[in-house]
Structure 1
């Protein structure tokens, strides 16, 4: 496994502390507001590559570190990529881009009502998911790129993954593939690296099941639809997703309760295999 890169917020805070100045003094020297520096170090704000460059200059960071952190900030800039463009470049390209974004964050929250979240998919599930949409050479490269993203699961970051039962009932590929996928989820839930939550079919809800999304710290949201993937950093849009995440908390079953549901669903697939 590769050594996980520290989140952007952690890297900026560590550089400042190692240099031995306060956040207020760093802001003055970089020509930024103190609140911007503080929020960037807490993961509540996505600094621009230019902001990062100024802070690295103040901290006298090596050129290699400056370039790496500026690239991380660039990856967090708001952008939208169409599904057609992604497939033309190769599905692996988007997987590598998402992996870079994930590595900038200290906290990840993911929700999906319709598909197993990418960070916890098995190789067989990934192959069934992409199916004939990619040529064989791109398919295997995409599988490996998605699996490399999973290194982050043991990086010490705070990771919450929530799926509606419908995402686990959708028979991607075959009952055998799904039984293996459910077993993998059970293993992950027991390892303690990830908090895995399930929203069962029978849970009364007062909000609709939204599209899949991922929140990185409190500064960016990745949204996937049938024809595009968008990275959103607009403050109001971010609050909407933060509010939705808060709303669904009472619907989620965690821990042993979640594993009970996973075992039950896995048993149903085994019966149908």
Structure 2
């Protein structure tokens, strides 16, 4: 595996190992000495630049005095990371599958997600019929159904009772006026946005047309934030996707998010606008 750019699961494993070590107060060199390895090896593990063997993970857990449950979880992360492709830019069905698996893991452990989706409703807030209208082109019905169910299942990170993520959805006003799936599908989708926006952990914000150009106009992106690791950006376009973890690249997207939030309507004002759009559609013959 490459030791320059951490792959998603290796990145998460390293962050978990570093957090566990720091909680014990044990320094890098002391841990390395007890493991009889160079401290630079431990540094690479914690940065996600190298995947430790399951034996090495077990040894780290033993030195740190971690519980059996924590040891098993970290060893499983190591097993998963070993089989992960080093290149996190993916194109085509096989690459999409790898990136989706990583995205699901990132969504599961994230504490906050900001989805900037300029022209469509963010995936985690899509209704079944809205998602089907987007995914059905060129797909057999059975395959579309599987993809739709998977997308709906991903919403569990928002709706789960224990530690749901903080989810912020940002859309251009134009996204509310699309006709994806037809009028009835759009009405149902907009109503669902209002319902999800009532959750304490969900903010839905609309960028008004009057805002002019914003970084959101440059394209969609998802910013994932974690309790124990630096943020990660996920980009997706047609049949390609990428994860960005370089500090400078991610920082640019954090700044873009801040710029977008300055011009986006508040959650309350956004809900009023969505309600107005629903009412206008209902009265349109």
Q: Give the TM interval when normalised to the shorter protein.
A: 0.7 to 0.9
Is residue 123 of structure 1 aligned with residue 128 of structure 2? yes
| 2:279 pairs with one of 263, 267, 271 | 267
Give the distance between the partners of 2:173 and 2:53, measured in 1 at CA: 41
Residue 186 of structure 1 corresponds to 194
Give the distance between the partners of 1:73 and 1:215, measured in 2 at CA: 22
Q: Which has the larger radius of gyration?
A: 2
| 1:233 pairs with one of 239, 242, 245 | 245
| 2:24 pairs with one of 21, 24, 33 | 21
Q: TM-score, normalised by structure 2?
A: 0.74
Instruction: State the shift of 1:104 in Å.
Output: 3.3
Is residue 79 of structure 1 aligned with residue 82 of structure 2? no
Instruction: State the shift of 1:164 in Å.
Output: 1.2
Q: Quick check: 1:80–1:230 contact (8 Å CA) kept in 2? A: yes
Q: Quick check: 1:8–1:105 contact (8 Å CA) kept in 2? A: no
Give the distance between the partners of 1:255 and 1:152, measured in 2 at CA: 20
Residue 58 of structure 1 corresponds to 60
Instruction: State the shift of 1:9 in Å.
Output: 8.7
Residue deviations 1:97-129 (CA, integer Å, cap 9, x gap): 422221232221110111110011000111111
Give the distance between the partners of 1:132 and 1:72, measured in 2 at CA: 32
What runs of 5+ residues in structure 2 fail to find an aligned partner?
1-11, 33-38
Rate the CA distance shift 1:233–1:33 in 2: closer, same or farther, 3 A: same
**Corresponding residue SS for 2:234:** strand
Residue 4 of structure 1 corresponds to none
Rate the CA distance shift 1:199–1:35 in 2: closer, same or farther, 3 A: farther
Q: TM-score, normalised by structure 1?
A: 0.77
Instruction: State the shift of 1:181 in Å.
Output: 0.5
Q: Quick check: 1:72–1:104 contact (8 Å CA) kept in 2? A: no
**Corresponding residue SS for 1:198:** strand
Q: Quick check: 2:116–2:221 contact (8 Å CA) kept in 1? A: yes
Give the distance between the partners of 1:27 and 1:109, measured in 2 at CA: 37
Instruction: State the shift of 1:224 in Å.
Output: 1.3
| 1:224 pairs with one of 236, 246, 250 | 236
Residue 48 of structure 2 corresponds to 47
Q: Quick check: 1:49–1:73 contact (8 Å CA) kept in 2? A: no
For the aligned residue pairs, the C-alpha RMSD in angstroms reads 3.4
Rate the CA distance shift 1:160–1:49 in 2: closer, same or farther, 3 A: farther
Rate the CA distance shift 1:10–1:47 in 2: closer, same or farther, 3 A: closer
When structure 1 is superposed on structure 2, of 251-260 and 205-214 the one drifting more is: 205-214
Give the distance between the partners of 1:180 and 1:28, measured in 2 at CA: 58
**Corresponding residue SS for 2:179:** coil
Give the distance between the partners of 2:209 and 2:176, measured in 1 at CA: 11
Residue deviations 1:214-245 (CA, integer Å, cap 9, x gap): 01224321111234111122222212211211
Residue 137 of structure 1 corresponds to 142
Give the distance between the partners of 2:89 and 2:18, measured in 1 at CA: 29
**Corresponding residue SS for 1:132:** coil
Q: Quick check: 2:107–2:224 contact (8 Å CA) kept in 1? A: yes
Instruction: State the shift of 1:16 in Å.
Output: 4.5
When structure 1 is superposed on structure 2, of 257-266 and 120-129 the one drifting more is: 257-266
